Structure 1
């Protein structure tokens, strides 16, 4: 039986119409290059240097100081400005905890700063009849800085060892000053109306001296949260006993000692 071979017709392939190339006029190319050159030129031009600054977070006196520290950037083009260097210059004022700078090509800048929050002030010998103009303060992180004298300062008084009174605190371990800041802050919360002194001695032992109250030995920086919990319970639940107590030792918070 003869077999018939059938030839299948192949489908015709569709040929996509060719797109005509987009023609770019020489004028458009030249305009594009001119705009690029203009942008680059502006970026490196003193016309984009820092001309005006908006400062947020501080008062008028600090604003003037910040503006003075940014004067060198009034001649530096925007493309060469380094905001990190600007922020470092601003933080040359130790009263400031942080600074954030933004600038734009139009010569405008914005500075947002956060001021340090003082929780303690170093003891200062004050001559009779003389009001100091400045004092040394401690923030919550234990950083010591100089600021204007606040007559009605509500924070704790801080007494440091004689060797630290020159404020070269780098020679001391870092942790005692940080602990001093923590103790000052916690004391403000526990005794908001009580005048007191935070003492750091030569052995880096911390203690508290309450005016018309007991002396409190805290010991080292360890377990400060637990130590203040013991003190909080004692002054809340045993007020009469606290009036008779002369010394409280919470250096071991699980075994506090109350001496009358």
Structure 2
């Protein structure tokens, strides 16, 4: 990364501020005698070979990390950056890409190293898209950022799409049957059944029945996808496939065929 003159001034100021915090941390220890000028490599200690001889390996690592932290805090040239609280995951953006953007924004805008992990973890959930937020919300306990990333890495895969589709199909089937049974009998006026020959009520329920048929077909596709993915390497693949196939045929919902009209 090549810095402009202004960026270098900003970087050096931030770097020296971090070195000052580092020096405060050294107080009372073996490295308490080092000054800011020495840690920053000011003349006459501006020779890398002399620095390597003077500083312990731990101090050299701390100086390097301080320079890196100052570097990531430099604002980008020609870019107006939004607040880190406004970094949100796009509808089709991967969770890892979102976390990368969020982490970079927090690194640039937040100087307190102690609060950064907490901020990133909280915003990772609060600003995630609906699909990732749904996945995170059902995770047990207080999930770490690594666990969130692992869980959300499956979002958008065929297995995840099949799972979401299955939930939608199940809801559609329940809604369709609820509406189907709301019709009144032509003869007695009660709900939940139909008098044979009541074409008006049957026509009104035709759309609901078509939805059920479509839902059953989609459920069959969904279940077969899940079975294929989850049991490809399993010795019980054939048994599980038959079980799921039975569900797809409507056995788990109790409708193997179109219901007949009941008579009073």
Q: TM-score, normalised by structure 1?
A: 0.28
Q: Which structure shows the bigger proportion of residues in helix conformation?
A: 2
Larger radius of gyration: 1
